[in-house]
């Protein structure tokens, strides 16, 4: 089986595309309005969650609403005049790379932290050995008292799903850098927008 891969050049990864809609929804409920970033990161700006402007709306409507909010309240955004928008379609079961498990690292980029910071790693699809033989895989706990290294976490994941699927693929892993880490620093001028195939926003965008 393949070892954990680190994909560092894809803009989608810097926007932290979710590995699990269910897991990410838990994260989003923690900050639906305007909240100060975690002081432990030493951040000096406000993160604004654009729920009302964007969630379940078309990306063009979302972008227009964010720009309108920026124009009306520039003081919320350090007086900037524009945002950099990064729009990415969320991965679907029919997309290339469907068999890849995203392992969100901790802020120091050395161990696995998971979407919620609890070491839990999620895979959003069933694993199908045949069209009529599918089952749920994961989640996996990659914090066993101490957070696992990416290689250790990936091996555990792959060992738990040893069979290739009906397309001849095995589970693979990549490491994903959290916002605020050295490889994905906070960028208050960046807004990442995740859409479905029809361009509808499926997660709450934030300027981070």
Q: How far apart are CA 152 and CA 148, in angstroms?
A: 6
Cβ atoms of 18 and 194 closer than 8 Å: yes
pLDDT tops 50 at residue 96: yes
Q: Which pLDDT belongs to residue 46?
A: 75
Confidence band of 44 (pLDDT split at 50, 70, 90): low
Select from 96, 111, 120, 105 the least CA-distant residue to 172: 96
Q: 24 phi and psi, to 5 degrees?
A: -70, -35
Q: Which pLDDT belongs to residue 149?
A: 97
Around 135, how many Cα atoms within 13 Å sit in the side-chain half-sphere? 9
pTM: 0.72
pLDDT tops 70 at residue 89: yes
Confidence band of 28 (pLDDT split at 50, 70, 90): very low
Percent of the chain with pLDDT over 90: 72
Q: Measured in Å, how far apart are the chain's first and last C-alpha atoms?
A: 35
DSSP β-bridge partners for residue 58: 200
Q: Which pLDDT belongs to residue 47?
A: 85
Mean pLDDT over 52-78 rounds to 95
Confidence band of 45 (pLDDT split at 50, 70, 90): low
pLDDT tops 60 at residue 36: no
Q: How far apart are CA 23 and CA 27, in angstroms?
A: 7
Q: Which pLDDT belongs to residue 62?
A: 98
Q: Which pLDDT belongs to residue 155?
A: 98
The token pair that represents 155 in the structure block:
């091996």
Which residues, 6+ apart, have CB-to-CB distance to 4 below 8 Å?
103, 150, 151, 153, 154, 173, 174, 175
Percent of the chain with pLDDT over 70: 78
Select from 99, 154, 141, 105 the least CA-distant residue to 124: 99
Mean pLDDT (the chain, rounded) = 83
Q: Which pLDDT belongs to residue 31?
A: 35
Mean pLDDT over 41-62 rounds to 84
């Amino acid at each position: 089986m393949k070892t954990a891969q680190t994909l560092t050049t894809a803009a989608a990864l810097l926007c932290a595309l979710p590995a699990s809609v269910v897991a990410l929804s838990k994260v989003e409920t923690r900050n639906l309005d305007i909240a100060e970033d975690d002081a432990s990161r030493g951040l000096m700006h406000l993160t604004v969650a654009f729920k009302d402007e964007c969630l379940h709306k078309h990306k063009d409507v979302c972008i227009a609403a964010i720009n309108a909010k920026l124009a009306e309240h520039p003081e919320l955004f350090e007086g900037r005049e524009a945002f950099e928008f990064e729009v990415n379609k969320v991965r679907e079961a029919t997309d290339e790379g469907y068999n890849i498990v995203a392992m969100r690292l901790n802020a120091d980029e050395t161990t696995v932290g998971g979407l919620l910071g609890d070491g839990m790693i999620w895979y959003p699809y069933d694993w199908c050995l045949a069209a009529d033989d599918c089952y749920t895989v994961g989640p996996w706990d990659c914090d066993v008292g101490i957070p696992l290294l990416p290689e250790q976490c990936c091996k555990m994941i792959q060992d738990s799903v040893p069979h290739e699927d009906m397309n001849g693929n095995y589970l693979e892993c990549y490491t994903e850098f959290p916002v605020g880490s050295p490889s994905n620093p906070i960028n208050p001028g960046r807004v990442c927008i995740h859409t479905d195939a029809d361009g509808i926003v499926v997660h709450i965008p934030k300027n981070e």
